Structure 1
Amino acid sequence: MKPFAKYKAFLDLHHQSGPFVLPNAWDAASAKAFQNCGFKAVGTTSAGIAMSLGYPDGEHLPFETLLSVLKTITDAVDIPVSADLEAGYGQSPETVTENMKKAAAAGVVGINIEDGTKDPCRPLCDATLMEEKITAVKKLNLPVLINARTDVYWLNADDPGSRLQTAVRRANRYRQAGADCIFIPGADDTGTIAGLRKGIFGPLNVLAGSNTPSLQILSEL
């Protein structure tokens, strides 16, 4: 399947009538195993890739090394591959766009960009900077789906009573900037996911965990 066809297939999976499960691979073997199990697409895990190579998560893995791993994964499977690129491996929109070009050249048709800073005193970046990154990547017109991640829940970045409102506000700003879908890890209970689904326009991704509602409930939401 050619890159644009993979991109279109991945985009369509985000607009089908029910949810789809995207497993996270950390190397070519795991990606191929997921494909053989019948998954329609595969994502990559930044933590899994980094730790498998002896690095901690958080953009400590050299970007060129990451690109090499992504290429081995995309070469190993025929299904769409979406890459977790953390905060884009760059602070400026210009650096991030250059990195996105390289990721697309490695064969990925989806990218995650997150707004976490890894700074406990200021866990989330300014939403305007995140918007600028997304807009800059969108202007490249690459056959790549932009999955904008906000870490409001993952990092407990706001007062508990304000997290839903903050997450919805950031998510909709990222969508307006050009993100194709939104990813909100850490939101794992039915009430929170329902609130997010009601407030956010466009596709919504959540991270599966022990408390995540069943696929049936997610479909109903």
Structure 2
Amino acid sequence: MVGERFAELHRQEGVFVMANAWDAGTARLLTEAGFPALGTTSAGLAHALGRPDGANAVSREETLANAAAIAAATHLPVSADLESGFGATPEEVARTIRLAASAGLAGGSVEDSTGRAEDPVRPLAEAVERVAAAAEAARSLETPFVLTARAENFLHGRPDLADTVRRLRAYAEAGADVLFAPGLPDADAVRMVVTAVDRPVNVLAGGAGPRLTVAELGALGVRRISVGSALSRTALAAAHAAARRILTDGTFDFGDVPSVREVNATLVGQVTAG
């Protein structure tokens, strides 16, 4: 079962990379590439819908429908970016976890951000209550569900490492299986988080943080690496650059792009003309 396989990845020695898909097609592409697990990306989904990320602009229903499509497209465990849990109350956060499991997901993350620019991070006590509700819901499921709790300080202009560690410890005590503080600025900060907590730590690669390799992050004690929206932003950047060349140069040089036949073979296992 995918939930147990996902949990086992976190118990094994060493580090693994969880690539983030934003639709069924990219899920199949990343599965074929050989990753052991996949995540979703709230930013990748929001941008595909033409909306901003982190502003409560995508609904729970849209998020779970996207995550379900990704899970159905791969045999790999999938962990969903559930933003702040899609609810004003802990009970609604718990409901989100149960719905995520019903959608075929092996795990999910709940963050302590609010989506409000004027007040971006929840008070600690409120955030802990929400993580505890999510953890209780996860434990009540018939199949394993890996709950990741995220401390969002560094993504919202609050570079307070001591408070971030305090939050992560509190989330672990509340029942989180994996801890995640996106935006950590350097290797020293990563090392401090890893050594300060007693749960597997996920680190975000491809963001504004340090450009550390898989081996370097593994040596720091990181158990899981995710790439967030980096791959979706890479795809958008490539499309935008190609579009600009058409308009400015009048050329159609798209680089080393696979044919439709090749994409068909990769994504759906069929060789058809296009």
Q: Same fold (TM over 0.5)?
A: yes
Report the equivalent of 1:80.
77
Report the equivalent of 2:2.
6
1:217 aligns with 2:228: no
Deviates more, 1:207-216 or 1:20-29: 207-216
C-alpha change, 1:188 and 1:38, in structure 2 (3 Å) is farther
Write the mapping of 1:135-214 to structure 2, written as runs, cut at 5 A: 135-140=132-137, 141-142=140-141, 143-157=144-158, 160=159, 163-209=160-206, 211-214=210-213
Pairwise CA distance, 1:206:
0.9
2:90 equivalent among 93, 101, 107: 93
- Is the contact between residue 149 and residue 178 of structure 2 (CA under 8 Å) also seen in structure 1? yes
C-alpha change, 1:219 and 1:115, in structure 2 (3 Å) is same
> Alignment partner of 2:110: what SS?
strand
Corresponding residue pairs, total: 213
> Alignment partner of 1:147: what SS?
strand
C-alpha change, 1:25 and 1:115, in structure 2 (3 Å) is same
- Is the contact between residue 94 and residue 136 of structure 2 (CA under 8 Å) also seen in structure 1? no
Q: Distance in 1 between matches of 2:188 and 2:104?
A: 37
Deviates more, 1:35-44 or 1:50-59: 50-59
Q: Distance in 2 between matches of 1:165 and 1:198?
A: 13
Pairwise CA distance, 1:19:
1.0
Report the equivalent of 1:64.
61
Give me the identity figure in percent. 38
In the alignment, residue 30 of structure 2 is paired with which amino acid? F
Pairwise CA distance, 1:191:
1.1
Structure 1 unaligned blocks of 5 or more: none
- TM (norm. structure 1) is 0.91
Structure 2 unaligned blocks of 5 or more: 221-274
Report the equivalent of 2:253.
none
Pairwise CA distance, 1:129:
1.6
CA RMSD, 1 decimal: 1.4
C-alpha change, 1:120 and 1:50, in structure 2 (3 Å) is closer
> Alignment partner of 1:217: what SS?
helix
1:15 aligns with 2:15: no
Pairwise CA distance, 1:62:
2.4
Q: Distance in 2 between matches of 1:214 and 1:114?
A: 25
Report the equivalent of 1:26.
22
In the alignment, residue 145 of structure 2 is paired with which amino acid? V
- TM (norm. structure 2) is 0.74
Of structures 1 and 2, the one with the larger relative CO (CA 8 A, separation 6+) is 2
Q: Distance in 2 between matches of 1:14 and 1:188?
A: 24
Which stretches of structure 1, 4 residues or more, deviate above 4 A after TM superposition?
none
C-alpha change, 1:156 and 1:200, in structure 2 (3 Å) is farther
- Is the contact between residue 110 and residue 144 of structure 1 (CA under 8 Å) also seen in structure 2? yes
Deviates more, 1:170-179 or 1:91-100: 91-100
- Is the contact between residue 23 and residue 70 of structure 2 (CA under 8 Å) also seen in structure 1? yes
2:34 equivalent among 18, 23, 38: 38
* CA distances 1:116-151 after superposition (whole Å, capped 9, x unpaired): 123333321011122111221222222211100001
Q: Distance in 2 between matches of 1:84 and 1:40?
A: 17
In the alignment, residue 132 of structure 1 is paired with which amino acid? E
2:48 equivalent among 52, 74, 80: 52
Pairwise CA distance, 1:196:
1.1
- Is the contact between residue 188 and residue 208 of structure 1 (CA under 8 Å) also seen in structure 2? no
> Alignment partner of 2:45: what SS?
helix
* CA distances 1:44-68 after superposition (whole Å, capped 9, x unpaired): 0001012112222233112212222
